[in-house]
Structure 1
Amino acid sequence: MELPVVAGVDGSEGSLRALDWAVPEAARRGLPLRIVHASVWEHYEGVRSGLPADRPSEQVYAESLVAMSQERARSLSPEVKVTTDIRPEEPVTALLSEAEDAALLVLGSRGRGPVAGMLLGSVSLSVAARARCPVVVVRGRGPDTQQPPRPGHGRVVLGVGDNAASGAAARFAFREARSRGCALVAVRAWHGPHHLVVPHSPSGDEQLTICQRQADEYMDNALSTVGEDLTKVTVRRKAVRGTAHQTLLETADPADLLVVGARRRHGAFGLQLGGVNHAMLHYAPCPVAIVPERE
C-alpha cells in the first residue's frame, strides 16, 4: 500500500500554497495525494438530513472547499491520483491521525482563524511538533496563488544537528534533492567553546581548527546514513562559525526546501523541536521540513 502525501486545507491562502506545493511533490514521488479538511460542524450544529439548504453552513463550506481543492490539484498535475476527506474533528487531532499513515504531511504556515496574522499558526506548530511522519510547513515569499509556480532555486538545505537527530533528515533531504535534480547543501554552524577536553591546552587557533573539524565530522556522519550513492546528487558541505539559526536562515535564502531533524522525547508523544527548529518554522524564507528520527 502506497502511503499518500497529505495536504491539510482550510481555505486560507497559506493552505492553498501548501496544496500547490504538495501536488508536484506527490507527482515527483509517484504517490497519491490526499486532501483533508478538518471540520467541527457536527459538534456544534449536528447532522441534519433534508434539502441542501438545510445543511449546516460549515458542512456546505467544507464540501465546497475540498471540491475546489481537488479540482485545483487535478489542474496542476492531472496524473496524480487525488482523494479528499472531511473529518469532523479539531484540526490538530485530525491531522495527527492522518500523519499515522502518510508519507508526508504538508501544511500552510498560517490558517484562517483569529490568529491568522501570526508568523506561524498554532495548528501547524502543534502538528509539526507531534506528527509521526515528516511535516512540511510551506513558508517563504511564494508567488500569488493564482499564478503558476516559479522555477526552483536549485538547492535543498539540510541543517545538521547532533548525530541522534540528523540521520532521517539527511536521508529525506537527499531524496528531495535527487527527485528535484538539484544540489544538497549540508550546513553545520559552530562556535569556539570556552574550553575543550583534550590532552593539552590548545591555542586559540588550534581550538578553532578542532571546532571546524568537529563540524565537518558531524556533516560526514549525517551524510553517511543516506545509504545511497552520494554522487547521484551534487553535495556541498558548509561549516560556518556562528549561530545555528542565523546560519540556516541565511543559507536557506534562497532554497527550495530547508530540512531539519528532530528527536522524540523519551516517554512522551512529541518531538524535541528545540529553539533552532522553532526559529526555522517561524522565520525561514522557504518551506521547512521537520523530519522525526525513528524510535
Structure 2
Amino acid sequence: MASSAADLVVGVDGSDAALTAVRWAARAAAARRRGLRLVHATEELPVAYPHTGGNFEELYELVGARGQRLLEAARAAVAEVAPDVKPEVVLRPEQPAEGLLAESETAAMIVLGTPGQSAAARVLLGSASLALAAHAKCPVALIRPHVAEDEPPVDGPVIVGVDGTPASEDAIAVAFDEASWRGAPLVAVHAWHDTFLAGLFEEGRRTMDGDAIEQSAQELLDERLAGWQEQYPDVHVERLVQRGRPAQALLDLADRAQLLVVGSRGRSGLAALALGSTSQAVMSHALCPVVVARGGTRPAGHAE
C-alpha cells in the first residue's frame, strides 16, 4: 500500500535512537492530524553468509521475522505517547536509504533517529542519513535524544538558517510552517564569515567595511523573509545577523531550541556535496532535532 501525502514516515532499525524518533513523530502526527507510517528496510544479505548451509530461504524468513518484531516494538512506542494514532507498519526488502528515498516521493516528512551525544563528544551521521537529507523529496527530520533527557526538547524557538540561496528559501518555508503548528517563535539567522571576507579584502588590497557588510546582511535577511509574515501572522519572528561561521552561529542557538531547519543544495549526485558544509555540521552536531529541506520539498504542515 503506497503512503499518502499525509503520512509522516519513520525509519525503524531497532535502535533506541529510532524509538526516540518514533515517539517524536507520533506526537507530531497527533498534533498535525496526519497518518504515521513505520518502515523497516532490511539490509542486503551477503552472498556467502556464514553458517547458513546455503539455506537462504530460511535466512530471509529470519530477517523478515526480526523486521516484524522491530516494527511491533515501534508500534508499541507510538501507543505509549499517542494512543489515538494508529500507525501503518511496512517491511521493505531493500537497503534503508533506497527504501526511505522511495517513501519520500509521497511522504509529508521522513523522520530518522540519530545517536545520542554529549556536548564534548558529538558524533557524525551515517551514510544513509546523509543520502536521505541530500536527495529526499520531502523534508527530513533527524532526531536524537537530548543531552539531559531521553526525549528531544519540546519548548524553545524554531531556528532557521538564511543565506540567500534557493536552498534557504525551502528552509524558510518549512521553518514558518513548523513554528506555526508548534506555536513557537521563529529565529531567522544570517551569519557572515568575517574572517574569510577580511582575508579576501586583504588579498585585494582593500579595506573591509564591516558595518556596511552587516547592513547588507540585514537587508538580505529582511528581503528573504518578506511576505512570509503575512502568510503566517501567528508566528513571532526574530531576525538575527551575526559575524562568524554560519554553522557555529546555528549550533550555538540550537542548544536552546526545539528545532533547527536548514537547506540542502540538492544539485549534486554526491550527498556530502549536495548538503554543503553548514548543513552537514549542524546535522552532525546539533543537540536539538534538525529538519533538512532541499529544493522542491514540501512543508509537512497540517493535514487538510
Q: Same fold (TM over 0.5)?
A: yes
Give the aligned partner of residue 25 of structure 1: 28
Report the CA distance shift for 1:157/1:35 in structure 2 as closer, same or farther (over 3 A).
same
Residue 221 to residue 29, structure 1, CA distance change in 2 (3 Å)? farther
Partner AA of 2:31 in structure 1 = R
Q: Give 1:122's match in structure 2, choosing from 127, 131, 135.
A: 127
Deviates more, 1:159-168 or 1:239-248: 159-168
1:285 aligned onto 2:287 = yes
Question: What do the CA deviations read for 1:180-233 (whole angstroms, capped 9, x no partner)?
Answer: 11110001111443467xxxx9965xx222211222123223322537444311
In structure 1, the residue corresponding to 2:261 is in which secondary structure?
A: strand
Percent identical pairs in the alignment equals: 37
Asked if residue 57 in structure 1 is aligned to residue 62 in structure 2, the reply is yes
1:114 maps to which residue? none
Q: Which amino acid aligns with 2:11?
A: G
2:233 partner SS: helix
- 1:155–1:185 Cα contact (<8 Å) kept: yes
AA in 2 matched with 1:275: S
CA distance in structure 2 between the partners assigned to 1:164 and 1:125 by the alignment = 19
Q: In structure 2, do the counterparts of structure 1 residues 55 and 242 end up closer, same or farther at CA, with 3 Å as the change threshold? A: closer
| TM-aligned CA distance change 1:31 to 1:245, over 3 Å | same
Which of 157, 160, 164 is 1:158 aligned to?
160
> TM-score by structure 1 length?
0.83
Matched, 1:6 2:2: no
Displacement, 1:42?
7.6
After TM superposition, give the deviation of residue 151 of structure 1 in Å: 5.8
Q: CA deviation at 1:251?
A: 0.9
1:99 offset after TM fit, Å?
Answer: 0.8
Alignment partner, residue 190 of structure 2: 188
Whichever residue aligns with residue 30 of structure 2, its letter is A
The CA distance in 2 between the partners of 1:221 and 1:236, in whole Å, is 14
| 1:230-269 → structure 2 map (5 Å cutoff) | 230-265=232-267, 268=269
Shift of 1:35: 0.3
Residue 55 of structure 2 corresponds to residue 39 of structure 1 = no
1:129 touches 1:273 (CA, 8 Å); kept in 2?
yes
**Compared with structure 1, are the counterparts of its residues 263 and 41 closer, same or farther at alpha carbon in structure 2 (3 Å cutoff)?**
closer
In structure 1, the gaps of 5 or more residues are 49-53, 112-116
Q: What residue in structure 2 maps to residue 294 of structure 1? A: 296
Q: TM-score, normalised by structure 2?
A: 0.81
Distance 1:76 1:225, change over 3 A: same
**1:139 partner amino acid:** R
**Count of residue correspondences:** 275
Structure 1 residue 108 displacement after superposition: 1.1
**Alpha-carbon shift at residue 57 of structure 1 (Å):** 2.5
Please tell me the root mean square deviation across aligned C-alpha atoms, in Å. 2.8
Cα distance change on mapping 1:135 and 1:21 into 2, 3 Å: same
3-state SS of 1:261 partner: strand
Aligned to 1:138: 143
What SS does the aligned partner of 1:166 have? helix
Higher alpha-carbon deviation: 157-166 or 268-277: 268-277
Contact 1:2 1:31 in 2 (8 A): no
Inter-partner Cα distance in structure 2 for 1:225 and 1:86: 42
1:162-190 CA-to-partner distances (Å, cap 9, x unmatched) read: 23222221111111111111110001111
Structure 2's unaligned 5+ residue stretches are 48-54, 117-121, 298-304
Letter in structure 1 aligned against 2:176: F
Contact residue 39 and residue 91 of structure 2 kept, 8 A: yes
User: Partners of 1:272 and 1:226 in 2: how far apart?
Assistant: 26
Q: Shift in Å at residue 7 of structure 1?
A: 0.4
Matched-pair contact (CA < 8 Å) for 2:188–2:238 = yes
Cα distance in 1 for residues equivalent to 2:56 and 2:87: 28
Displacement of 1:33: 0.4
CA displacement, residues 9-44 of structure 1 (integer Å, 9 cap, x when unaligned): 101011111111111111222110000001147887
Q: Could you tell me which residue of structure 2 aligns to residue 73 of structure 1?
A: 78
CA distance in 1, matches of 2:277, 2:100: 23
